[in-house]
Structure 1
Amino acid sequence: MNNEPSGLLLAHRAMLRDLDRCAGLTADLARNSPRLDRKRAAAIADYLTDLCDSIHHHHSAEDDVLWPVLERSAGAHVDLTELTDDHAVLDPKLTRIRSGAAALKAGHIVPAELAADLADLRDTLHEHIADEERTIVPLIKQYVSDDEWNRVEAAIRKRGAKMTFEVPRILAVATEAELAETRKEGGIPVAIMIKLLPLPFKRRENLVFGGAR
């Protein structure tokens, strides 16, 4: 078996990119911008909420779909206790960020607590994802067949991620080779999303991040 869980790795890459820039943005705004205009405050708050939903979708899909397959395939070679414990602490962190985003949307001011919570989540997930990729990805490649991995990805897609948010973020971190493989595997529906979704998302990013990518 020589599985390359590229979808998992791309999701990690997109997640960490967003956490880095959202933590930096909110830290800067909490220090230097006492008040934002209503439209930008709402845009930032909505983006953070979508990011929290995306992270929850990702780690719950690992818990519910990927971990059982990996435990069945790798058996005694895998111990997911530490990674599962990491997942258990994520939802309270996401809840705090959602609350901070709601406060931002209502008051047009970035709370210092929101910036601190995003920095904490960024640091937590950088460490968690590094551990996951070091320990789990080799086991997927060795023990999970191509057919089984395809079933894992299909089951995760059925869980209903917000594609208008996920696809442009994946495209932003994918290499040309990864994009070509994505087009090949996804066919016409994926080709359409790749063509249509980035432009409105870029406008959204420009409002959130002030034109900085």
Structure 2
Amino acid sequence: MTTDTLPPADTRIMRIVHNALRRDLARAAQVLRTAPPPAQPQRVALADHLVWMMHFLHLHHSGEDRGLWPLVREGNPGARALLDAMEADHARIDREMERVTAAAIGYRVHPAAREDLSHALTALEQVLLPHLQREEDEMMPVVARTLTRRQWDDVEQRVFVASKTKRELGVEAHWIVDGVDRVDYDVTVRKVGPATRFMLLHVFERPYRRACAARWGADLDVSPRLHRPLRTEGSAELWIGVPARQLYDAVADVTRISERSPECRSCAWLPGPSPGTVGARFRGHNRARHARWSRVCEVIAAEPGERFEFHTVSDRRNPLYHDSTTWSYTFRADGDGTRVTHSYRIDILPYRPLLSLYSHLQPQHQDMRPQMRQNLEALRRQARDGTLVSGAPPGMSSRTGRRERPWDRSGPRRGWSREASTRRGA
């Protein structure tokens, strides 16, 4: 198991690779359904790409089986059942991959094999997509708890990088970053050194674009979404194996948001309605990269065990804080656990002249879903580690058991006066 002094494995690349597989399986299915059928050049390009994808997926799974899973088995005996399930999934997926490969080879030669290939892809998706999701939701957290970052990086380099030629890495690199955002782009390209990275990204860019145009069509944009348009709403969902009320209580205690949020560093309730109830306000202090800011938020829904919702308070007198976003958590019982949905909706956009500035300073805010996913995964880790509940209801001090006042966290009483003044003017 990892120790407190060593950083845990950073498994984000697994999700990024899985998304590339999902993306091109969906693209292939769309091309095969489109009328009229693809002409001979596109048919050949699509068939060749699917054969390549099946080969890539085979190497990906065999690398896990021989390089990654044995390390996890050794370091975490309790993960045996889950690892056995992963390997059993690989065996089932291998059979469907062989069907897709055979159908693609047939389709390359005979246009009439189009229907067979479409059916083979559907059958593959039925076993592959649930496996990918389970690996992300269940297996990767176990890997992060078991392996250190150094162990993970060693497996990556030895099994998935060093065994491939520069050309193979160049093709894979552009395939993986096809359409990703800046965060995922950086995670991916930093797997190799600067000189190799420069060569892979520049030498193989045009060949990859030509290959994409051949199999998908010339109009498809395959550029990484480093300057993607602002997404005004989105959600992330995760199953967590504890009752809904426990999760609700943890979320409604906003003083602990910093334990889960990638950006929030602290929160404190402001004077007014009881903490955790509709109308209660709190101030959050945030930091991302070199930027620091704080916002006043107001609870707008508090239904224990079902829904907790708040929004940032818009200040029309201050152009920097004119905007408002609603954040919500909903909880739904699912088997012996709870399905949690974390969502956001931008209700008031920033003033237009500031949008481009925000996009430059905080590109991660263009799409908040990845950060919400991190938030839910942290919530699940707290549930798993037994740190979900602080020992006091929302707004109560876990040290004294009494109702916590803003200056308990913020310093002397004059800090309360500033917060109160902010709240009156919000």
Q: 2:175 is aligned with what amino acid?
A: R
Match of 1:5 in 2: 11
Equivalent runs, 1:44-193 vs 2, <5 Å: 44-79=46-81, 80-156=83-159, 157-160=161-164, 162-186=168-192, 187-193=194-200
SS of aligned partner of 2:76: helix
Structure 1 residue 183, shift from structure 2 partner: 4.4
1:26 aligns with 2:28: no
**Bigger fraction of residues in helix:** 1
SS of aligned partner of 1:159: coil
Q: Could you give the per-residue CA deviations for residues 55-88 of structure 1, whole angstroms, max 9, x where no partner exists?
A: 1111111111110011112222442111111100
Using a 3 Å threshold, how does the CA distance of structure 1 residues 73 and 103 change in structure 2: closer, same or farther? Answer: same
Using a 3 Å threshold, how does the CA distance of structure 1 residues 203 and 67 change in structure 2: closer, same or farther? Answer: same
Question: Quick one: distance in 2 between partners of 1:104 and 1:181?
Answer: 36
Using a 3 Å threshold, how does the CA distance of structure 1 residues 148 and 189 change in structure 2: closer, same or farther? Answer: same
Match of 1:209 in 2: 216
Q: Does structure 1 retain, via aligned residues, the 8 Å contact 2:107–2:114?
A: yes
Q: 1:92 is aligned with what amino acid?
A: R
Q: Does structure 1 retain, via aligned residues, the 8 Å contact 2:42–2:216?
A: no
Q: Considering Cα pairs closer than 8 Å and 6+ residues apart, tell me whether 1 or 2 has the greater RCO.
A: 1
Question: Quick one: distance in 2 between partners of 1:62 and 1:90?
Answer: 14
Runs of 4+ aligned residues of structure 1 deviating over 4 Å after TM superposition are 181-185
1:194 aligns with 2:198: no
Q: Does structure 1 retain, via aligned residues, the 8 Å contact 2:177–2:188?
A: no
Q: Does structure 2 retain, via aligned residues, the 8 Å contact 1:42–1:105?
A: yes
Which is higher, the Rg of structure 1 or of structure 2?
A: 2
Greater CA deviation, 134-143 or 183-192?
A: 183-192
Using a 3 Å threshold, how does the CA distance of structure 1 residues 90 and 185 change in structure 2: closer, same or farther? Answer: closer
Q: 1:189 is aligned with what amino acid?
A: T
Q: Does structure 2 retain, via aligned residues, the 8 Å contact 1:10–1:173?
A: no
SS of aligned partner of 1:174: coil
Using a 3 Å threshold, how does the CA distance of structure 1 residues 120 and 165 change in structure 2: closer, same or farther? Answer: farther
Question: Quick one: distance in 1 between partners of 2:116 and 2:201?
Answer: 36
Question: Quick one: distance in 2 between partners of 1:109 and 1:209?
Answer: 19
Structure 1 residue 110, shift from structure 2 partner: 4.3
Q: Does structure 1 retain, via aligned residues, the 8 Å contact 2:9–2:149?
A: yes
Question: Quick one: distance in 1 between partners of 2:124 and 2:87?
Answer: 16
Question: Quick one: distance in 2 between partners of 1:212 and 1:170?
Answer: 19
Using a 3 Å threshold, how does the CA distance of structure 1 residues 182 and 207 change in structure 2: closer, same or farther? Answer: closer
Structure 1 residue 189, shift from structure 2 partner: 0.1
Question: Quick one: distance in 2 between partners of 1:92 and 1:189?
Answer: 35
Structure 1 residue 178, shift from structure 2 partner: 3.2
Question: Quick one: distance in 2 between partners of 1:28 and 1:206?
Answer: 16
Using a 3 Å threshold, how does the CA distance of structure 1 residues 93 and 182 change in structure 2: closer, same or farther? Answer: closer
Question: Quick one: distance in 2 between partners of 1:122 and 1:13?
Answer: 13
Q: Does structure 2 retain, via aligned residues, the 8 Å contact 1:16–1:125?
A: no
**Bigger fraction of residues in strand:** 2
Structure 1 residue 184, shift from structure 2 partner: 4.4
Q: Does structure 2 retain, via aligned residues, the 8 Å contact 1:20–1:122?
A: no
Question: Quick one: distance in 2 between partners of 1:122 and 1:89?
Answer: 12
Q: Does structure 2 retain, via aligned residues, the 8 Å contact 1:13–1:173?
A: no
Q: 1:141 is aligned with what amino acid?
A: A
SS of aligned partner of 1:111: helix
Structure 1 alignment gaps of length 5 or more: none
Match of 1:42 in 2: 44
